[in-house]
Amino acid sequence: MLNRKYLLKLGVRTSLFNHSCCPSATISKISGTTKQKVETVRDVTEGDEICISYLSDGYLPRDERQRILSARGFTCRCERCSPESTFDRDVPLTADISLLPLSNEKIAPLRRRYDQLVADLQSMLGFSTPQSCSLWIMRAERWLVDASKPPYQLHQFHWLSVHLYKMLRDRYKTMYVSNAGNRKDMRKKTLYYGKLIIRAEFAVLQPLDPHKQAVDAFLDDWNDMGMPKNGAWKLLKELEPSAEIIIKSLNE
């Protein structure tokens, strides 16, 4: 058994690793060098293939992952994608509040509005004003309200909702940083969506993504907004007891 933090100091050929949607390693740049490091993110046994994820976002349901990966020329058959998969943590990604599956057809109207929100946000980036930003936020929050009601009643960890939480968190933070609107409200909303994202990622990705991008982003927001230093750890512990373990292992 190799340790979780076992580090392979490789400078080249990291692109030769195969993909898995539940990767056993991550690749990152070693700062100040042209080298990359491969770090295992869970325990691996000798003889196991070490895989990385080619997806920039692990918080996607199977169909969406396959769509992106098939554009790269393959069908993923990892333990999360295979038809025999028992990876039930993915269930909320495409389910309603009672964890019953929601078909693409059923949520098609919501999906169209979501796609429009994403397109509008992309065309705004770099050109947004506080007014256009607030307007977009209003539409996105209305989407979340509609999504939570019949006939959809999306699970709060449904991938579309969680993606909107991320976009809303970024918009509120942009408003906060640019001194637009009531800063106290902007801060509250930024941290509120940050908390929802942490809950979702812990619920769905926890065994897959111990680096906890959501936790890192939350801590960044917390610091950028001048919140009291120790408060973040206390809050994270309340939010998600296993966050503490993750943080400890990151600080080792």
Q: What residues from 81 to 100 belong to the interface with Zn ion (CB under 5 A)? A: 81
Nearer to Zn ion by Cβ, of 78 and 246: the residue is 78
Nearer to Zn ion by Cβ, of 76 and 160: the residue is 76
Query: Measuring CA to CA, how many Å separate 79 from each of 14, 15, 102, 145?
Result: 22, 21, 22, 34
The residue range among 75-83, 100-108, 226-234, 244-252 that interacts with Zn ion, by the rule CB under 5 A, is: 75-83
The CB-of-66 to Zn ion minimum distance in angstroms stands at 8
Helices 213-224, 159-177: axis angle to 10 degrees equals 20
Contact between 78 and Zn ion by CB under 5 A: the answer reads yes
Nearer to Zn ion by Cβ, of 22 and 164: the residue is 22
Per residue, what are the HEC states of 35-102?
A: CEEEEECCCECCCCCCCECCCCCCCCCHHHHHHHHHHCCCCCCCCCCCCCCCCHHHHHHHEECCCCEC
Burial of 231 (0-12, 13-18, 19+ CB in 10 A): exposed
The CB-of-62 to Zn ion minimum distance in angstroms stands at 7
Nearer to Zn ion by Cβ, of 17 and 193: the residue is 17
The CB-of-205 to Zn ion minimum distance in angstroms stands at 13
Residue 121-160 contact track with Zn ion, rule CB under 5 A, x = bound = ----------------------------------------
160 vs 157: CA distance, rounded Å: 8
Structure tokens at 180: 């637009």
The CB-of-68 to Zn ion minimum distance in angstroms stands at 11
**Residue 2: DSSP 8-state:** B
Quick one: which of 212, 165, 164, 209 has its CA closest to 191? 165
Nearer to Zn ion by Cβ, of 23 and 194: the residue is 23
**Residue 18: DSSP 8-state:** P
Quick one: which of 52, 76, 162, 196 contacts Zn ion (CB under 5 A)? 76
Mark residue 188 as left, alpha or beta (left: phi above 0; alpha: psi -120 to 50; beta: remaining).
alpha
The CB-of-79 to Zn ion minimum distance in angstroms stands at 8
Q: What residues from 15 to 34 belong to the interface with Zn ion (CB under 5 A)? A: 21
Nearer to Zn ion by Cβ, of 74 and 245: the residue is 74
Q: Point out which residues bind Zn ion (CB under 5 A).
A: 21, 76, 78, 80-81
